[in-house]
């Protein structure tokens, strides 16, 4: 599985090439501030847990 953010790599040649390699091309939603905020919160939580170890 090859996952991209549904923007610059959404081209037919790329999808065709992945098919020849028997690889699925999946697309995520474009980046939004809400997604970035959730990821930043998760990273902060992980770092805080790692510090307490």
The predicted-structure confidence for 1-53, as pLDDT tens digits, reads as follows 777 776 665 677 888 888 899 998 887 776 666 667 777 888 888 899 898 87
Q: What is the pTM assigned to this prediction?
A: 0.41
pLDDT of residue 20: 93
Per-residue model confidence (pLDDT) at position 1: 77
Q: Phi and psi (nearest 5°) for 31?
A: -65, 135
Buried-exposed string 10-48: b where 16+ CB fall within 10 A, e elsewhere: eeeeeeeeeeeeeeebeeeeeeeeeeeeeeeeeeeeeee
> 26 pairs with which residues across the strands?
3
- In angstroms, the CA 17 to CA 23 distance is 9
pLDDT attached to residue 7: 64
For residue 35, the model assigns a pLDDT of 67
């Amino acid at each position: 599985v090859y996952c991209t953010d549904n923007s610059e790599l959404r081209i037919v040649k790329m999808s065709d090439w992945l098919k020849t390699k028997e690889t699925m091309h999946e697309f995520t939603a474009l980046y939004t501030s809400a997604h970035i905020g959730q990821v930043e919160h998760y990273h902060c939580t992980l770092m805080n847990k790692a510090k307490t170890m």
